[in-house]
Amino acid sequence: MCGYQDIERELELQIGMKQEVEVAMRLLEKDGHDKQELTASLRKQLEDVKNINIEMHSRLQVSTCHFTYTPLTNMHAHTPHSFTYELFLLTLSAYI
């Protein structure tokens, strides 16, 4: 009878180990699915941040675009009015 009890005990141990392995596999599968969902979410967030970055860069380029300073011809360079206009353009370009 000792042999039968040993076999029965071994069978119970094997069943217990199999159940533990099944639980571990389910936990690993759930963890894998959770990580896939997290990865997808992070990729979406990264794409959103990239798009925001591109939009902000475009806005910055548009807002810093200003008039190009071109000196007036000699004919107009000595008139007070042309000097005021040049100063206006320089001041305006600093604020744009």
**Domains in the chain: boundaries:** 1-64, 66-96
pLDDT digit string (tens) for 78-88? 455 555 666 66
Write down the pLDDT at residue 84: 64
Cα–Cα distance for residue pair 5/11, rounded to 1 Å: 10
Write down the pLDDT at residue 63: 72
Q: Would the pLDDT of 4 be above 80?
A: yes
pLDDT digit string (tens) for 18-53? 999 999 999 999 999 999 999 999 999 999 999 999
**What average pLDDT is seen over the chain?**
80
- Report the Cα–Cα distance between both ends of the chain, in Å, rounded: 97
Mean pLDDT of 50-79: 69
Q: Is the dihedral of CA 78, 81, 82, 88 positive or negative?
A: positive
Q: What angle do CA 60, 66, 67 make, to 5 degrees?
A: 170
